Amino acid sequence: MASPRSSAKTRLQKGKIVEPRVHILKDGSLSAVAEYIKEGKAKNIIVMSGAGISTAAGIKDFRSPGTGLYDDLEKYNLPYPEAVFDISFFKDNPSPFFRLAKELLPGRYRPTFTHYLLPLLARKGLLLRSYTQNIDMLERLTGLDDELLVEAHGSFATSQCIKCEVVTDSKWVRKHILKSSIPYCETCGGLVKPTITFFGEDLPARFGRLALQDFKKCDLLIVLGTSLQVEPFNRLITRVGPECPRLLINREKAGEEMHGGFDFDDKWKYPTVRDAVFLGNCDDGVRELAKLCGWEGELQAMFEAGNIEMQIAEEMEALSLAAELEEAVAVANEAEKEAEEEAEEKAEKEAKKGARKEAKKEIEKETKREAKKEAVAVEPETKRPLQKKEEGKEKEGRQKETPAEKDVPSEDDVVQQLSERLLSTDLNAASETFTAADEILAVSTESVVVVTTIVDTKEAPKPAQV
């Protein structure tokens, strides 16, 4: 490393002569940083980044007045904006986070021009490590080696149960997020969330381990798109050596209030003058830095190639999703068909069952009708003894009638009998012991008696009816 520049003037502090201030950079501009790089003084560059590098991708940052994500969280009815990332609040009410996660979910956005500065520095062998607060995983999509990346606040790359700490399938959690549903652990029933570091949680162990060694080696710190308000991430800028130059590319100045923080306006009068700033969009600042370093064309080519790859990947994913959707529709149709067939089969069974019931009823009715017919047919037989009994009674009643009435023949019968007797009598027969005249007299007498009897019988009073 070349010797730092020193001012010609010495400083007086409380009446004592103090060593002159050392200028690591000639001034606080991008060109001074570019010159530092081109001179070969930056061999272990650390890049710290925040939400500001992703705004060009369409992802809102958190704290920009009027446009930041925290200003857009009123619809979630939070007690305070940061509650959406507060672990205590999350345990009681996880719904706001998962509704927000649907908007932040990786796969909807592409890396920006700024993101491709990281693989460019890595290609040139200048990147020691990239430390990011972002959870959008856009650094990964540039092709940056995972070993060169520290996601200080975690990411959607993995998911874990907050109760039993079992690591779960991120694709499974992603499906829940897309469906606006809350995932619960299949092992213990606890809440499952992406391994994003919430307020109240410790940062990943890898962050602390690597930060301890990396910032001692750093010879150029580039801070991109962050307000440096979240600890302990913001404190990283104080860990580099006192002669390590620092560059901030952001829409506004940040990190000036903490001890050992930036000193853009020479407020703190540090022994070394090493801080530079570019106020504006990250993409504009990075493009200007790349241009000053002679890397603009290379960076632009990487950005365009990356977009083409992303487009192809998105199209492939779209085709895959379409195939999955088609398969899901086919499965749903098949299930619906099976359900319809099952319903038809069930209806047919019910119909057959109903028909059997009706047939059984008809058989029962027919059986009853046949039994009734048989009963009707048998009824005279069963009543015959009774009829005979009645006939016997009637006969007995007739027998109780007066003998004279019972034995008296009708007038016609008597006349017929007498006539026959008269005609059969032989008036010339001599052998008879009595004469014909006597026979006629006897018949006549008998006729009178019979007629008299008939008349008397008819005139006799009938017995009273009981």
Token readout for 27 is 């001034």
Residue among 23, 115, 153, 259 flagged as catalytic: 153
Question: What's the length of the chain?
Answer: 466
Q: What angle do CA 429, 434, 438 make, to 5 degrees?
A: 100
Angle between helical axes of 411-424 and 436-459 (0-180°, round to 10): 180
| Cα distance between residue 29 and residue 14, in whole Å | 32
Identify the bridge partners of residue 48 per DSSP, sorted by sequence position: 131, 223
| Cα distance between residue 110 and residue 141, in whole Å | 8
Q: Is 244 annotated as a binding residue?
A: no
Determine if residue 76 is left, alpha or beta; phi over 0 gives left, psi from -120 to 50 gives alpha, anything else beta.
Answer: alpha
Token readout for 213 is 């060694």
| Cα distance between residue 134 and residue 109, in whole Å | 13
User: DSSP for 326-385?
Assistant: HHHHHHHHHHHHHHHHHHHHHHHHHHHHHHHHHHHHHHHHHHHHHHHHHHHHHHHHHHHH
Identify the bridge partners of residue 150 per DSSP, sorted by sequence position: 131
Q: Is 176 a catalytic residue?
A: no
Q: Is 188 annotated as a binding residue?
A: yes
Q: Is 185 annotated as a binding residue?
A: yes
**Which residues does the annotation place in the binding site for Zn(2+)?**
161, 164, 185, 188
* Residues designated catalytic: 153
